[in-house]
């Protein structure tokens, strides 16, 4: 069973495009891929959700949601306010295992950060990863403040005995400022987790064909691509 959990260090850090990039590289390698979004918040029925968007960009085979809540809140809060059942970690793990029996790779995209509550019993994406014994890809922003949030996430993974798949910058700016340029060097040092790629800012708006062609250049060999940190720091020969 191959399941990869994709977590952000917070909201709006590029988890969906990161998930799509990993999926695109796997598809290009001939693997069948499913994307699972346990809880989609802030969208009405019929609107394209994160998992569907990841499939559109990547060409993955299938997407699944377990629940959708209309308000853009943490899943536990959104479920409570909507009067709908919450998503529980055991349900997510069970669905991921079933998908893994059918597809070569299952990507589980979280909502917000690692410890955002899925239910009022305190269930989180970290619990899902633990039930699945799955590695966790941490998606982080490029700019000021990312070192603290990413280190805290890495520490929590370590405390729980969960294996990180790496840190991926979810939106690398076309004109990175000083903080961003320093952060790509400092992130592996403060987290103890390798930097495994960077998705260009705005890539989610690219045509799918261009997105898929670019994906292998954004991910390091650990994730099936060819990217190197020197591509961001300007030290590649």
The model's pTM = 0.95
Which among 142, 139, 112 is positioned nearest to 4, based on CA atoms?
Answer: 139
Mean pLDDT of successive 10-residue segments in the chain (237 residues)?
A: 92 96 97 97 91 98 96 97 97 98 97 96 97 98 96 98 96 95 95 96 97 96 87 63
| Owner of token pair 């729980």 | 160
Here the CATH number for the domain that contains residue 196 is 3.40.50.300
Dihedral sign from CA coordinates of 3, 71, 139, 49: positive
Task: Judge whether 48 lies within some domain.
Answer: yes
Residue 237 lies in a domain: no
Give me the number of domains the chain comprises: 1
Give the helix, strand, coil percentages of the chain, each rounded to 5. 40, 25, 35
Let me know if residue 209 belongs to a domain.
yes
Question: Quick check: is 228 in a domain?
Answer: yes
The residues that are catalytic are: 37
Residue 124 is assigned to a structural domain of this protein: yes
Tens digits of residue pLDDT in 13-69: 999 999 999 999 999 999 999 999 999 999 988 899 999 999 999 999 999 999 999
Parent domain of 182:
3-232
Instruction: Confirm whether 176 is domain-assigned.
Output: yes
């Amino acid at each position: 069973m191959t399941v990869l959990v994709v977590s952000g260090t917070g909201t709006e850090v590029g988890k969906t495009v990161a998930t799509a990039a990993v999926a695109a590289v796997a598809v290009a390698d001939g693997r069948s891929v499913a994307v699972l979004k346990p809880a989609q918040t802030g969208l009405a029925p019929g609107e394209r959700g994160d998992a569907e968007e990841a499939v559109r960009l990547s060409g993955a085979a299938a997407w699944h949601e377990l629940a959708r809540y209309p308000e853009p809140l943490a899943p536990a809060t959104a479920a409570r306010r909507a009067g709908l059942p919450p998503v529980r970690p055991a349900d997510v793990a069970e669905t991921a295992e079933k998908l893994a029996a059918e597809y070569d790779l299952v990507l589980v995209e979280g909502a917000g950060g690692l410890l955002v509550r899925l239910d009022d019993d305190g269930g989180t994406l970290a619990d899902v990863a633990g039930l699945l014994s799955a590695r966790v890809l941490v998606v982080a922003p490029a700019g000021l403040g990312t070192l603290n949030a990413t280190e805290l996430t890495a520490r929590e993974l370590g405390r729980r005995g969960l294996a990180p798949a790496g840190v991926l910058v979810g939106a690398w700016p076309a004109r990175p400022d000083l903080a961003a340029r320093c952060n790509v060097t400092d992130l592996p040092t403060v987290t103890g987790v390798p930097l495994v790629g960077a998705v260009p800012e705005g890539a989610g708006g690219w045509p799918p064909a261009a997105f898929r062609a670019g994906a292998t250049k954004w991910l390091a060999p650990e994730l099936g691509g060819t990217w190197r940190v020197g591509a961001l720091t300007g030290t590649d020969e």
